[in-house]
Amino acid sequence: MNDAHEDGMTKLVENYREGRRRWGVEDADRRWLQQPLTDWTTGLKGQQPHPPLDSDTAERLAVAIKETLAIRDGLILSILAPEPGLDRDRLLDLCVRPNDPSNVTALCSILDAVFKDPTTRPDQPRCQAGLAMLVSMADKVPPGFRSQPLAVAAYVDWWSGGSRASGFAEEALCDDRSCSLAAIVLALIGRGIDPAWRQSG
């Protein structure tokens, strides 16, 4: 990565923040995420072995999930949600209106199922498609923007029973020592805590 790329990402962050000041948080986030979440949800369908994200989508998502954790959490939910999953419009609404009562309910419902219901199991093709896009995102952005995609990858890999979660989490912490999600994943692994579906065998 070169200085020009880092400068470009810094400018993208400024554009994101300026849009939120100009249009308000919800409207600005909706405008920012329309195309990236279309690409993301298409990629999750696993229509290709390694769904690519173009550089523009990868950079816009990396900025959004670094700046706004509700958007990061939306990407996590889009991978973990039980079938039929979240379509683009539902995911967009969760990301831009995280405090809406219906979205809070949906969030809690999905997380309860993920952690407590042993019959809620990973959709492995969707998890692998998500992991491929997250790794692609981290590869396409400069240092300082890699921690959140790598932390999400760590979480998804932990949930899906993979073997790369600790590696992803450690990479995320190398990029940003304050990345709490990466630290949480390492703590889960260190304490031998598994999601309910794995505990049930």
* pLDDT attached to residue 45: 86
Name residues of the chain where pLDDT drops below 50. Answer: none
Which SS3 state, helix, strand or coil, does residue 176 take? coil
CB-based burial label for 21 (10 Å; 0-12, 13-18, 19+): exposed
Distance CA 114, CA 155 (A): 12
* pLDDT attached to residue 71: 95
* pLDDT attached to residue 48: 59
Determine contact, residues 88/167, Cβ cutoff 8 Å: no
Distance CA 138, CA 160 (A): 20
